[in-house]
Amino acid sequence: MAEGLDIRLGHAVERVAWGEAGVTLTLAGGEVLEAHRVIITVPVGVLQAGKPGFDPPLPEAKQTAIDTIAVGHVIKLMLWFDHQLWPDFVVLRTDGRIVTWWVVESAATPTVMGYVGGPAALELSALGEQEVINLGLAELSQLFGADAADACLGGRMSSWSEDPWSLGGYTYSPVGMGDAREALAAPLGPLHFAGEATLTNGHIATVHGAIESGWRAADEVIAAPVRQSIH
């Protein structure tokens, strides 16, 4: 699908200047890009942190929608071993602090992935990677009656709320959210909005939902009047 398109990775947008004439994007390196229309797919956690900056600022309805949609926390803990410590399983729920474990079938060496969501994810993330690895190994030792630390070849923790490019796992719908997702998805002059948070059909927090929202925003752009000049 990307063939022939000018896709630029690693280009962080710091400022979106928008108006009737079009959109001017200022990138982190100072480069300026101009466009008739822009589809914004930055995660809600990042928008809530005021990034990128909008000039003029987004109107109240749009900003309220951004502030109202809730962003959840997720960590994953990946641990890999020199041999398989566990009997075959697919997913395991426990009453430990790492509440869910999956076996990672695609890994080259026996690997499990711990998954924790919600406020507990933030608490674990605050302990730091090494502490959470130690905790995970202790819980696996207890679960499987083996010395997990001795067999462990390595570990990594991902914390999406600490990642400056996501600032959260995925969105959820708090009580009283009303039509915030519709308000976020609504086009605003030359600005269009897509991403998992803009779904109103229940497909939030998924890859297929994010893709559907991209199709919706692309249809909006295609249907919009074509401007001859961006100035």
Ligand X SMILES: Cc1cc2nc3c(=O)[nH]c(=O)nc-3n(C[C@H](O)[C@H](O)[C@H](O)COP(=O)(O)OP(=O)(O)OC[C@H]3O[C@@H](n4cnc5c(N)ncnc54)[C@H](O)[C@@H]3O)c2cc1C
Q: How far is the CB of 13 from ligand X (least distance, A)?
A: 4
| Footprint on this chain of ligand X (rule: CB under 6 A) | 12-13, 41-43, 46, 51-52, 74, 76, 160, 165-166, 169-170, 195-196, 205-208, 210
Cα–Cα distances in angstroms (integers) from residue 84 to residues 155, 213, 216, in the given order? 15, 41, 45
Cβ-closest position to ligand X: 195
Burial class (CB in 10 A: 0-12, 13-18, 19+), 100: middle
Contact between residue 78 and residue 113 where contact means Cβ atoms under 8 Å apart: yes
Q: How far is the CB of 204 from ligand X (least distance, A)?
A: 7
Q: How far is the CB of 29 from ligand X (least distance, A)?
A: 12
Q: How many C-beta neighbours within 10 Å does residue 212 have?
A: 17
Cα-to-chain-centroid distance, residue 187: 21
Residue 203: what are its φ and ψ, rounded to 5°? -90, 25
- Taking the least distance from each CB to ligand X, the nearer of 68 and 151 is 68
- Taking the least distance from each CB to ligand X, the nearer of 116 and 133 is 116
Q: How far is the CB of 84 from ligand X (least distance, A)?
A: 23
- Taking the least distance from each CB to ligand X, the nearer of 29 and 225 is 29
- Taking the least distance from each CB to ligand X, the nearer of 49 and 126 is 49
Q: By C-alpha distance, which of 75, 177, 68 is closest to 131? A: 75
ω into 43 cis (within 30 of 0)? no
Contact between residue 25 and residue 41 where contact means Cβ atoms under 8 Å apart: no
Q: How far is the CB of 138 from ligand X (least distance, A)?
A: 23
SS3 call for 79: strand
- Taking the least distance from each CB to ligand X, the nearer of 118 and 150 is 118
